[in-house]
C-alpha cells in the first residue's frame, strides 16, 4: 500500500525515481533470498505466463520437450515441443523422458513444472535435471504453484530457470518473476528501454513488485508453520470427502502432493453443477485450472493421466489458502454432501 503512493519512475535518477528503484531492488533481494538465487538472476515480469514465455522464447532456439501436464502457457510458448507422458498418478514418466532425449540428441530445453496446478502432484525435478544435463539440455521449471507451499531453491533443484507468480503466495495479481542462472543467455521478448538489465523492457510495476517482495518476505518468515496448518486441514478435507463418498476419486493421491490442493472426481455429478452449488453456499472452487474453468473442454491434465472425458468433467479442484480454517472445511463438506448423496 505504501508503494502505491510512490510516483517516481524507477529508471529516473531523481529522488522520487531512486525511492521507487529502492523498493524494486528490495523486492529483488527478497525473491533472491526466497529462491536461493542472486539478485542479478531475478527478472520481474507480469506473471507466470510471461516468465515462461521469456524463458522458452528468449533462450537460443532448439528442440524442446515439455510434460503433457504443463500449464497451457508453456505449450503456447513452445508449440513445437514433444510431450513427455505422465503416470496415472500424474508424475512425469522419467523413462519416457530418457527415451525422447536419446531419440533427439539436440534437445535444447526441457520444461517441467515443479507442482501441478490441478492435482498438486510434485514432479521429480532433480531426476529431470540429471537426465537433461546428461543430454546437454537446459531445464526450465514452472514453480508458480510451488512457491510458499514447498521449498523452491534454484541451486538445490539444479534447474536453469524458475517461473514465479506473486498471487499464488499472497502477492498481487499480474506480477511475477523469472529467476534465471546466466540471464545473459536470454534475449528479451519485450525489448524496450533497457529495464531489467535489458531482459524485459517497459517501466516496472513498482506497486506490484513491492507487493510481491512483501509476500516473499512473509513466506520466508511464516512459510513452514503455515503449511503444517494447511496440511492438517487438507487431511481433514480429504478424509471427510472419502467418508461422505467412499467411491470419490482423489487424483494423484498416491503421489507426493502440495499440502493445499485436492482434485476430486464425483462420479455422475458434472463439475459445473458442483461449482455452482458450492458457489451458492459461498464456497469458491474451480473446475480444472482457474484460467480455463469457464470453458467446457475437459482438463488436458486429467486426460493425460488416463481419465475419460466424463471423469474429467466430473472433477473439481479445491485449494486451501493461508487464511483457511477448520470451519471452511466443515462448510465445504456440508455443502458438498448433498451432491454426493444425490449421486449414489
Ligand atoms: N503455471 C501454472 C502452474 C499456473 O497455475 C499458472 C496460473 O495459474 C501459470 C503458470 C500462469 O501464471 P500467470 O497467471 O501469473 O500468468
CA 73 – CA 118 distance, rounded (Å): 14
Mutate-to-test residue for ligand 1 from 49, 78, 175, highest number of ligand atoms within 8 A of CB: 49
CA 124 / ligand 1 centre spacing (Å): 19
Which atom in ligand 1 lies closest to the alpha carbon of residue 116?
3
Ligand 1 binding pocket, CB closer than 6 Å: 47-49, 71, 73, 113, 117, 142, 144-145, 165, 176, 290-291
- Residue of 81, 110, 79 whose CA lies nearest to 97: 110
CA 162 – CA 72 distance, rounded (Å): 17
- The backbone region for 151, taken as left when phi is positive above 0, alpha when psi lies in -120 to 50, beta otherwise, is beta
Which atom in ligand 1 lies closest to the alpha carbon of residue 47?
15
Q: And the C-alpha cell for 305?
A: 493421466
Identify whether the C-beta of residue 56 lies closer than 8 Å to the C-beta of residue 66: no
Query: At 290, is the pLDDT very low, low, confident or very high (cuts 50, 70, 90)?
Result: low
- How far, in whole angstroms, is CA 101 from its chain's centroid? 25
CA 89 – CA 301 distance, rounded (Å): 11
Place of cell 459445473: 272
Identify whether the C-beta of residue 114 lies closer than 8 Å to the C-beta of residue 71: no
CA 166 / ligand 1 centre spacing (Å): 10
- The pLDDT tens digits for 261-280 are 999 999 999 999 999 999 99
CA 302 – CA 287 distance, rounded (Å): 11
Place of cell 474429467: 312
Long-range contacts of 73-80 (CB under 8 A, 24+ apart): 73/48, 73/49, 74/111, 74/113, 74/142, 77/52, 77/53, 78/109, 78/111
Mutate-to-test residue for ligand 1 from 117, 122, 170, highest number of ligand atoms within 8 A of CB: 117
Mutate-to-test residue for ligand 1 from 56, 291, 294, highest number of ligand atoms within 8 A of CB: 291
β-partners of residue 86 are 92
pLDDT at 294 over 60: no
- The backbone region for 132, taken as left when phi is positive above 0, alpha when psi lies in -120 to 50, beta otherwise, is alpha
- The pLDDT tens digits for 56-99 are 999 988 999 999 999 999 999 999 999 999 999 999 999 999 99
Place of cell 453456499: 281
Q: Which pairing describes strands 138-142 and 161-165: parallel, antiparallel, or unpaired? A: parallel
What DSSP state is assigned to residue 326? H
- The pLDDT tens digits for 190-247 are 999 999 999 999 999 999 999 999 999 999 998 767 788 999 999 999 999 999 999 9
Identify whether the C-beta of residue 122 lies closer than 8 Å to the C-beta of residue 150: yes
What's the predicted TM-score (pTM) here?
Answer: 0.96
CA 144 / ligand 1 centre spacing (Å): 6
Which atom in ligand 1 lies closest to the alpha carbon of residue 290?
8
Amino acid at each position: 500500500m505504501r508503494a502505491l503512493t510512490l510516483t517516481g519512475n524507477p529508471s529516473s535518477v531523481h529522488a522520487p525515481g531512486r525511492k521507487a528503484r529502492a523498493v524494486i531492488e528490495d523486492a529483488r533481494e527478497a525473491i533472491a533470498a526466497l529462491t536461493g538465487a542472486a539478485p542479478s538472476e531475478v527478472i520481474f515480469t507480469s506473471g507466470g505466463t510471461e516468465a515462461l514465455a521469456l524463458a522458452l522464447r528468449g533462450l537460443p532456439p532448439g528442440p524442446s520437450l515439455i510434460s503433457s501436464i504443463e500449464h497451457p502457457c508453456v505449450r503456447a510458448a513452445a508449440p513445437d515441443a514433444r510431450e513427455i507422458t505422465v503416470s496415472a498418478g500424474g508424475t512425469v514418466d522419467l523413462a519416457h523422458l530418457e527415451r525422447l532425449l536419446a531419440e533427439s540428441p539436440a534437445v535444447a530445453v526441457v520444461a517441467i513444472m515443479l507442482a501441478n496446478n490441478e492435482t498438486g502432484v510434485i514432479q521429480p525435478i532433480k531426476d529431470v535435471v540429471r537426465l537433461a544435463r546428461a543430454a546437454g539440455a537446459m531445464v526450465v521449471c514452472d514453480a508458480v504453484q510451488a512457491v510458499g507451499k514447498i521449498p523452491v531453491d534454484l541451486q538445490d533443484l539444479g534447474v536453469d530457470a524458475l517461473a514465479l507468480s506473486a498471487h499464488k503466495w499472497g502477492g498481487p495479481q499480474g506480477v511475477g518473476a523469472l529467476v534465471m542462472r546466466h540471464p545473459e543467455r536470454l534475449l528479451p521478448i519485450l525489448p524496450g528501454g533497457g529495464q531489467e538489465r535489458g531482459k524485459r523492457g517497459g517501466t516496472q510495476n513498482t506497486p506490484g513488485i513491492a507487493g510481491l517482495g512483501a509476500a516473499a518476505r512473509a513466506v520466508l518468515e511464516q512459510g513452514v508453520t503455515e503449511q503444517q496448518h494447511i496440511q492438517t486441514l487438507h487431511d481433514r478435507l480429504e478424509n471427510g470427502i472419502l467418508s461422505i463418498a467412499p467411491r470419490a476419486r482423489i487424483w494423484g493421491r498416491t503421489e507426493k502432493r502440495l499440502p493445499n490442493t485436492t482434485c476430486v472426481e464425483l462420479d455422475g455429478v458434472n463439475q459445473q453443477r458442483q461449482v455452482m452449488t458450492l458457489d451458492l453456499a459461498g464456497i469458491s472452487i474451480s473446475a480444472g485450472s482457474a484460467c480455463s474453468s469457464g470453458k467446457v473442454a475437459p482438463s488436458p491434465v486429467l486426460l493425460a493421466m488416463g481419465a475419460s472425458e466424463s471423469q474429467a468433467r466430473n472433477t473439481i479442484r479445491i485449494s486451501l489458502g493461508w487464511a483457511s480454517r477448520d470451519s471452511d472445511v466443515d462448510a465445504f463438506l456440508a455443502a458438498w454432501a448433498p451432491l454426493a448423496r444425490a449421486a449414489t
